[in-house]
Amino acid sequence: MQQPDDPKRQLHRLQTIQQAILTVSRQASTCRDLADFGALVHAQLRSLMYADNFFIGVYEQETQALRFPYYSDQFDVGPAPERWVPLDSGETSRTAWVITHGQPLMLSAEEDRARQASGGRRDGAGPRNTGWACLCAMASMRSSAPW
């Protein structure tokens, strides 16, 4: 039986991570469709960790709205990729908090339940999660961007 700190297991894990990074980076410079890129990133994340639920949101600061060109969830159906959704308050929505603060957010299931108990909205209608993580990749979008 291999131990978690077994050198062969560690090497295999590092090789898997390296391959995922290479796959994503190769596609990042050539991909013209954010939905396709989202599916690729999602598949690579799933090869590394539990990530059955994943989305990419595009935020437009002028209108304070968000759309989701890639949205995959086990239980909830996301909005249509072209539909702009008003950004909720950072006090109630985890996604809005990440956007307004420009910082990543990781919550264990217990932390998320405590956040909800103190007035935070539970995003989605599916079963309670085992944890939640989000990061905000800020980019200056040019009008020529395909997405």
Residue 4 has what DSSP assignment? T
- Domain hosting residue 72, numbered range: 51-134
pLDDT at 44 over 90: yes
Contact partners, residue 48, CB within 8 Å, separation at least 6: 16, 17, 20
CA nearest 132: which of 123, 142, 140, 141? 123
Q: pLDDT for 103-137, tens place per residue?
A: 888 888 888 778 777 765 555 545 556 666 777 67
Answer whether residue 5 is part of any domain.
no
For residue 115, being part of any structural domain is answered with: yes
Residue 143 has pLDDT above 80, yes or no: no
Number of domains in the chain: 1
Q: Say if CB 75 and CB 125 are below 8 A apart.
A: yes
Q: What kind and span of H or E run contains 113?
A: helix 109-117
Is position 145 within any domain? no
**Is 113 contained in some domain?**
yes
Residue 22 lies in a domain: no
Say how far apart CA 59 and CA 39 lie, in whole Å: 19
d(CA 97, CA 107): 13
Place of tokens 């304070």: 64
pTM, rounded to two decimals: 0.74
Q: For residue 39, is it within any domain?
A: no
Cβ–Cβ under 8 Å, residues 68 and 55: yes
Contact 57, 95 (CB under 8 A): yes
C-alpha distance across the termini of the chain, in Å: 48
pLDDT digits (tens, 9 = 90+) for 52-100: 889 998 999 899 999 999 999 888 888 999 999 998 866 667 888 888 8
* 141 is a domain residue: no
CA atoms within 13 A on the CB side of 107: 20
- Asked, for residue 11, whether it belongs to a domain, the answer is no
